[in-house]
Structure 1
Amino acid sequence: MKKLICLFALIFITVSCKGGKGDYVLPTSTGNTNKILVVIKGNDWDGRIGDEIRTVFGEHQVGLPQPETLLSVSQIDPIGFKGFMRNSKAVLIVREGEKERIVVEKNKYAAPQILIYATAKNKTGLVNLIRNKGKEIIKLFKDADIQFAQRIFKKERVDENQFKTIKKLGVTIDIPKRFNLVEDTGDFLWLRQHLKSGIARGDGSNNILLYSYPLEDENKVADNITAMRDVIGEKYIPGSKEGMYMITEQAYTPFTYDAEIDEKKAYETRGKWEVKNDFMAGPFINYTIIDKENKRVIVFEGFTYAPSVNKRDFIFELEAIGKSLKIK
């Protein structure tokens, strides 16, 4: 993710905007993905409003081996929100006002940037607003992060025409060039990026899988996601010895949600994988897409192996790649 952050700075170094008296240039925004700056008075941050923010934004991301929050938050007093601090990429401004509402503003002080204003008449109203609209606010921040990442991936995408499986599937997908080929049979694609940070250096990796299978009964697709990925794991993803291969971790039930990829019905599944009869394991994210027109199911899966380091941001990157998939 460090490389991703650096690329934000390189690609979005300047942004021209139309002003009333001509053009002006916005500075580059600062900040990591999945991290927001909360602009709120110190007393409120230490009180009920801050407690509610920490509760809502402190919810754990499902499917990860270690507890990691959906978003990381830091706080600054409104009086300190000026100068360089206003260039933060993702900002939540909590304040009292006449109307209870959520307002979104983009690229006000820097680019890319999203500012979300949470306003209510009093402190009790702000607590209730965060409690009731917290998931909506989180989605706004997450969606903006996905869009930011996808813009970068589109700039540095690999030439997908070199892969037999992608050509046969008839899809496009923005995969960064740092992913290298492991296997490409024409029916199954496996790409891998070696991670270069933390204890996982040398051994850690982010992985992408892409394949399809015939659509027989749409109503059974969601129930068969785990079984299908286990079939694929046994066939294509071996362990270090005979009889070892990737399966869905048996002690952890994956979470499946309704989703949409390329305006088509899909399912997002988050869970943990492991290698049968071995000690390797990690998180995965799976997008199972129903392609009715071609009577098939397309599967994108990303999985991470990164021992002893946090994995939320690695899975986030795979999520952004998966959501860029389009059927020609």
Structure 2
Amino acid sequence: MRKIKYVLLIIASVFLLSSCGGNSKKGSSSALLPGITGAAFDVLVVGDERMWRDTVGRALFDLLNTDMPCFPQSEPMFNISFIRERDFSGILRPVRNIVFFELSDIYTQGKVTYFKDKWSSPQALVKLTAPDRESFLQLLQDKGEEIITYLVDAERKRTLSFFSKYCSPEMAQKVQSAVNVKMKVPNQMDRCRVEKDFIWMTDGNLNMTQNIVVYSYPYYDKSDFQLEKLLHKRDSVMKLYIAGPAEGSYMATEYRCEPTYKELIDENDRYLVEVRGMWRVEGDIMGGPFVSRSYLDAALSRIVTVEAYLYGPFKKKRNTMRQLETMIRTLELD
């Protein structure tokens, strides 16, 4: 009916891929739990097999299997496995992300419950309950984005916990000197170009090139945060400072893939706009995904944009892109 990674893959990953438990504080209950198992963005779904093969399961699968936005090749948000509730025990309980679903007349309405660190740490769990199919499908429609965000945020926290141990103080200092912001920069970002109010960092890996760009420019009014103006500024900055491999070539935005635009308030109550899209090289055939976050720095009357982008033709990009997204979210305005 559809392609599903079944539980044997999860069992294999328990032995092959495990995490060392996150940032649990000494003496906390989480510190006594084993580390999570499975690979990043693995999700184990637990429920009734008959319902999983029904419209209920199809809708849940389709939600978790949503494509990553603005990727050159289709990649799902998560790798999905399923197991019957009666078979969920022992070796499967420490899996990093678990979604339970249940339909029963004991429930009066659809409900999502989030909890964590039940069998391992740092573990993310979601329970979806509803009295019938109609209520369950409505629940997914109403809370689908929230569910995705919860699971993605759990992976971001794990990524930050890991990569915070392997950051480059030297490159972070260069970012602060160039753009007057603080940011955690992964160790592998060991090359850079610095200009006035601009820095481009890269790892130079030919198989999967990871890049982070930070730049700032004056803020005049709220219209500066319109999508058209943000992309116009992006194109002008990239053309000026990021050349392509062929003479006269340069980076630009790929407008054939419509960029997404989202206004946000971050955890520090800062206004920002997140843009996702694809980049290309004018005068060459290179391209890939990017995500940018543009912040209002009211104290200095400027906009600060931090962007992550990848180049890895024919390579899976989701996990690497998510890692870069996590790192650009560490940006702090001075």
TM-score band, normalised by the shorter chain?
Answer: 0.7 to 0.9
How many pairs align?
Answer: 314
The answer to whether the aligner puts 1:54 opposite 2:64 as a matched pair is no
d(CA) in 2 for partners of 1:171, 1:14: 29
d(CA) in 2 for partners of 1:14, 1:170: 32
Per-residue CA shift, 1:137-187, capped at 9, x if unaligned? 111111111122112222222105664342343322122212112212352
Amino acid at match of 1:66: Q
The answer to whether the aligner puts 1:90 opposite 2:93 as a matched pair is no
The answer to whether the aligner puts 1:231 opposite 2:256 as a matched pair is no
d(CA) in 2 for partners of 1:137, 1:7: 24
The answer to whether the aligner puts 1:27 opposite 2:31 as a matched pair is no
What secondary structure sits across from 2:217 in the alignment? strand
Amino acid at match of 2:225: V
Instruction: State the shift of 1:101 in Å.
Output: 1.6
Segments of 4+ in structure 1 off by > 4 A?
13-19
Maintained 8 Å contact 2:111/2:128: yes
Distance verdict in 2 for CA 1:165–1:24, change over 3 Å: closer
Quote the residue 2:208 is aligned against. 204
d(CA) in 1 for partners of 2:84, 2:20: 30
Quote the residue 1:3 is aligned against. none
What secondary structure sits across from 2:35 in the alignment? coil
Maintained 8 Å contact 1:163/1:184: no
Please report the TM-score for the alignment, with normalisation by the length of structure 2.
0.86
Distance verdict in 2 for CA 1:233–1:161, change over 3 Å: closer
Quote the residue 1:184 is aligned against. 194
Instruction: State the shift of 1:211 in Å.
Output: 1.1
Quote the residue 1:219 is aligned against. 223
Amino acid at match of 1:306: G
Quote the residue 2:80 is aligned against. 73
Distance verdict in 2 for CA 1:124–1:252, change over 3 Å: closer
Instruction: State the shift of 1:16 in Å.
Output: 5.5
Within 5 A, what are the aligned runs for 1:307-326? 307-326=313-332
Quote the residue 1:246 is aligned against. 251
The answer to whether the aligner puts 1:300 opposite 2:306 as a matched pair is yes
Instruction: State the shift of 1:84 in Å.
Output: 1.6
Maintained 8 Å contact 1:212/1:297: yes
Structure 1, unpaired ranges of 5+: 1-5, 196-201
* Aligned counterpart in structure 1 of residue 118 of structure 2, from 108, 130, 153: 108
More displaced 10-residue stretch of structure 1: 158-167 or 252-261: 158-167
More displaced 10-residue stretch of structure 1: 86-95 or 252-261: 252-261
Amino acid at match of 2:190: N
Instruction: State the shift of 1:116 in Å.
Output: 0.8
d(CA) in 1 for partners of 2:121, 2:78: 20
d(CA) in 2 for partners of 1:301, 1:41: 42
Instruction: State the shift of 1:123 in Å.
Output: 3.8
Instruction: State the shift of 1:14 in Å.
Output: 7.9
Maintained 8 Å contact 1:16/1:26: no
CA-based RMSD: 2.4
What secondary structure sits across from 1:52 in the alignment? helix
Structure 2, unpaired ranges of 5+: 1-15
Please report the TM-score for the alignment, with normalisation by the length of structure 1.
0.88
